[in-house]
Chains A and B, each alone.
Chain A
Amino acid sequence: MGSKKMHEQLPLSGLSDRIGHKIDLFLCCASYEPRSMSIAASLAPGAVAKAVIFYNKEFDAYIRENKEALESLFPASEVSKISASNPVETADAMVEALSASPNTAQNILIDITCFTHEGLLILLQACKISFRAHDRITLAYSAAGEYSVGAKEEDKWLSKGVREIRSVLGYPGIISPGRGTHLIILLGFEAERAQTIIDEYEPEVVSVGISRDATVSGARHSAVNLHTLEKLSENYKEFSAFDFSCVDPAGVASVIEGKRQEHQNLNTVIFPMSTKLSAYGAAIACEKDPSMQIGYAQPEIYNIKNYSTAGDVCHVMELSTLFTLGT
């Protein structure tokens, strides 16, 4: 499927040429976000042989329009219901949807943009067992134009509250009893959600990642969020900030590994709360070191009306060789 570069950023208008060959299977998640259509709409007509359109049942009323638009883009499509609240239901639905993989090698394109962080992480595990070494999997991510559309910098929000904190299915880690916790948070917009996570875990060490290549607005917001969390630093013996690239999954994995090495005597729990690309980076880190656990804090509510606008840039990368397929 075209270039063998690990990771590329390109305009959406160039995606179709970049992909080049026919796509045997296209996976995406329908969402209330307009950019759930961006990757799909950028593909050449007829390029996709079969599509599986996932959608979270909890948002059915809000995503219907985009779901139907995706279905009409891909006549040979299948719709698969997953759940933002029930990871086991999601895992089973994903495995079932991917179970019809043929024995011949496939070109697979996955639009990771609009899965929840947890949904994406589960999907990566489902891909591991459903696809084979000869399948070629490309991941694509459509960057947002603006988040929390129309809100002032200090008022921007994407989700609020924490309904439940749980480990992500497939990333249980090896949590040794009696050891303290090293919490690694890849911070996005929601400082209060991060604060809740820190409060719940009472970790020995807190490492907060701040994205260094967020959008201008995102960068300003990150500074505010870091300040909010730094107020907590007096309560924890070790509280530090580090930077990471929110568009370079391999780079994120490397940074996480480095942080892990600094506190090998502690249990490491990672909360990826930034872009889906950085969540993918966390997954890569855990493939290398399965002793690390990935956690997920399910929000109470989402800023459905004004979550984001679609940008005109996307990121494309091959699935890491660390994800050994057919296992």
Chain B
Amino acid sequence: MASNEPYSNPFAVQTPEGMSAEDVISLFVEELTDFHQVPKTSHTFINGPRGSGKSMIFRYLEPDCQSIALSRPTSELPFYSIYVPIKETELNITELARLTEAHGNFVINEHLMTINIAIKAVASLRKNSSITDDNAMASKIWTFYNASVVPLLRQGGADPAPALPPLEEDADAAITHIENTLLEIYAVVLGYLRRLAFPNAQFSYSGPLYGYLDFLKPFLKGMRSHELIPPAVPIFLLIDDADNLNLEQTKILNTWVSYRTTKDISLKLSVQQTYKTFKTATSKTIDNPHDFSMVNIYDIYTSQKNKYRSRVEKIVEKRLRLHGINVPPHEFFPPDVSQEKAIAAIKEKYKADWEKNGRGARPQDDADRYARPDYIKGLRGSSKSGSTYSYSGFDQLVHVSSGVIRYFLEPASLMFALQKSLKPARQVTRIEPGVQNRVIREQADEFLFDQLEKLARDEDDPTAPNRIRKLRNLIDGLGALFQGILLSSAAERRVFSVAMSDAPDDDVRAIFDLGVKHGYFHRSTIGNKEGTGRTDLYILSRRLAPVYTLDPTGFAGYKWVTNDFVRQAIFSPKRLARLIKDRGVDQAVDPAQPTLFDGLEKDA
């Protein structure tokens, strides 16, 4: 990838959809992910927050990239992928709300989705140079149109004329003809929906109708049987951002997942935690692993911490090298030397003291666990503020990114731009710790303060606090809790998660859901205290570490909390903060249990 405008910044976050196959190959890191689970013949959900790399995986699976990656022509690939991005407000247009509860809701939505995907499938042929460069393909495309597409369209109520191929063999013209035919059908349903917005009379849809089983599946199989795509391999439909579908469309997609079509077509769906439902149109639920497999990108970060760090390292190495910067990532992002020296000195003290007072299994355990928190505690003692702690160094930046590659690349991009602006004449070969720290702190403030209301937390406000204020209270409450733990003498002080020891009520769940939606929390589950099942685990984004001066390193513990505690954080945050400060964490979390056991558990 050439280092030219506008991508002169090695960390520019580019949309994979627009990247060339060569650029994708040069940047994609296949190993150290669960990528290998995706290109299997099965329906698969790829679940991860925005920016975690789902679209990049899909782009990498497309034929042009696979052809380079496997050093094979498209005709010899083991599967054929068709990229189907679902853009915001593309399929989910507001007019469709008129059909909720109406007869025809399922049918119209499925028709819209079917034709939308068929158009994208045909358009994707243009990315395949073995088709566009091969004029012999043109006759295959025309044959596909006349022998497969026309009959299918007629079955559903349209009446397209068979096409006479032009004298010139032109694959692109053939593709365009099929696209335009489908676009005309698409326009009919869009026209119906437009009239639905402000109905001044009762009217019904009278255009053609198509669905997955009667149209899309035979359409795609027809592309294969007419050798527009490799003839004997499974087809993967890569449906990106499936959470942009409305509720009915989501149920329809789940219905497609419930069909046993994987021999021919596997659906690969990228989703976030906002995916609306796993119910089908008939209210059954699709299940993992019976109906689909689930790849959770975020779990890779939480359960295999070194893999994520190694993946980021490889990505950064590649990006730097492509921009002619031959510096290892940890040198490009150096830590604050004096801070690390001071922390190293504290580590040595813990190692030396371990025989007598050690808590961990090994001296290094205590050193790793307590040195940085002690350093932060020491800063607060002297300056009454932890704001002199520096969030710099490659490792800290990796941790702060919270398992989402974008949250490493975006701040890195800003750091690069800022560093360059300080010394414009020189090539950037490192980002000064001060620059790293400044950007990370600014990003944390922007993430929390700019996006949430800057209102005073007024517990006496007679009007009910709004959702955003409640969320802000909850984040502040947990931030204060984690800070309290960091500054305490607890066995593990680097805590970023809470596990619910009893079921959250509707209010609490709604606020946590809002926090998950906006990226402040990640939701997972953990075995409950009783050992009888699982309960919710909420992980605060490490991007907020600078706001509460928390140590972002390590994957240590979670704190058991009750629904009452969380309610107190939401509705009486000032009281809770005072309680934590005056009586300590354990009393604040569980006032009925004054004993010293801190109920802290470690990650599995």
Pick the contact of B518: A125, A161, A168, A200 (CB < 8 A): A161
B112 to chain A: closest residue by CB: A177
B123 touching A295, Cβ below 8 Å: no
CA distance A157 to B468 in the complex (A): 15
Q: Does B505 contact A (CB under 8 A)?
A: no
B463 touching A61, Cβ below 8 Å: yes
Q: Which of B50, B89, B97, B452 gathers the greatest number of chain A CB atoms within 10 Å?
A: B89
Which listed segment binds A: B158-166, B194-202, B209-217?
B194-202
Pick the contact of B97: A88, A170, A239 (CB < 8 A): A88
B417 surroundings in chain A (CB, below 8 A): 231, 234
Known: A169-B95, A234-B413, A300-B467. A181 touches B87 (CB 8 A): yes
Q: Does A186 contact B (CB under 8 A)?
A: no
- B 26-59 binary contact with A (CB < 8 Å = 1; else 0): 0000000000000000000000001000000000
Q: Does A235 contact B (CB under 8 A)?
A: yes
B517 to chain A: closest residue by CB: A163
A192 surroundings in chain B (CB, below 8 A): 446, 450-451
B451 touching A177, Cβ below 8 Å: no
B94 touching A231, Cβ below 8 Å: no
Interface residues of B in 113-154 (CB under 8 A from A): 115-117, 119-120, 123-124
Q: Does B14 contact A (CB under 8 A)?
A: yes
CA distance A5 to B120 in the complex (A): 48
A160 to chain B: closest residue by CB: B453
B13 to chain A: closest residue by CB: A235
B451 touching A129, Cβ below 8 Å: no
B18 surroundings in chain A (CB, below 8 A): 180, 204, 237
A169 touching B453, Cβ below 8 Å: no
User: Interface extent on B, as a size class?
Assistant: 35 or more
User: Interface extent on A, as a size class?
Assistant: 35 or more
A172 touching B197, Cβ below 8 Å: yes
Write the nearest CB–CB distance from A270 to chain B, whole angstroms: 11
A126 touching B186, Cβ below 8 Å: no
- B 412-441 binary contact with A (CB < 8 Å = 1; else 0): 011001000000000000000000000000
Known: A161-B452, A165-B88, A235-B13. A176 touches B183 (CB 8 A): yes
A165 touching B198, Cβ below 8 Å: no
Q: Does B466 contact A (CB under 8 A)?
A: yes
Q: Does B17 contact A (CB under 8 A)?
A: yes
CA distance A239 to B94 in the complex (A): 28
Which listed segment binds A: B4-12, B323-331, B334-342?
B4-12
Write the nearest CB–CB distance from B20 to chain A, whole angstroms: 12
Pick the contact of B90: A126, A128, A175 (CB < 8 A): A175
- A 259-298 binary contact with B (CB < 8 Å = 1; else 0): 0000000010100000000000000000000100101000
B187 surroundings in chain A (CB, below 8 A): 174
Q: Does B593 contact A (CB under 8 A)?
A: no
- A 111-129 binary contact with B (CB < 8 Å = 1; else 0): 0000000000000011011
Pick the contact of A178: B8, B120, B197, B198 (CB < 8 A): B120
- A 62-104 binary contact with B (CB < 8 Å = 1; else 0): 0000000000000000000000000110010001000000000
A234 touching B190, Cβ below 8 Å: no
B190 to chain A: closest residue by CB: A174
Count: A-B pairs, CB below 8 Å: 120
Q: Does A213 contact B (CB under 8 A)?
A: no
The DSSP consensus for interface residues of chain A is: mixed
B97 touching A87, Cβ below 8 Å: yes
Known: A169-B94, A169-B95. A126 touches B198 (CB 8 A): yes
Interface residues of A in 33-62 (CB under 8 A from B): 61
Q: Does A322 contact B (CB under 8 A)?
A: no
A197 to chain B: closest residue by CB: B88
A181 to chain B: closest residue by CB: B87
Interface residues of A in 184-238 (CB under 8 A from B): 192, 199-202, 204, 231, 233-237
Write the nearest CB–CB distance from B475 to chain A, whole angstroms: 13
Known: A126-B198, A231-B414, A234-B417. A161 touches B97 (CB 8 A): no
A169 surroundings in chain B (CB, below 8 A): 94-95, 97, 197-198
Q: List 22 A-B contacts (CB under 8 A).
A: A160-B453, A161-B452, A161-B468, A166-B89, A167-B89, A167-B94, A168-B94, A169-B197, A172-B197, A175-B89, A175-B93, A177-B119, A177-B123, A177-B186, A200-B88, A202-B87, A234-B7, A235-B413, A236-B6, A293-B89, A300-B467, A301-B453
For the complex of A and B, the 8 pairs showing the least CB-CB separation, nearest first, are A178-B123, A177-B119, A167-B89, A177-B116, A172-B93, A169-B94, A170-B197, A234-B12
Sample of 17 more A-B contacts, CB < 8 Å, known A178-B120, A180-B18: A88-B98, A125-B198, A160-B452, A170-B197, A172-B95, A172-B193, A172-B197, A174-B190, A177-B90, A177-B116, A192-B451, A202-B87, A234-B6, A234-B413, A267-B90, A293-B89, A293-B93
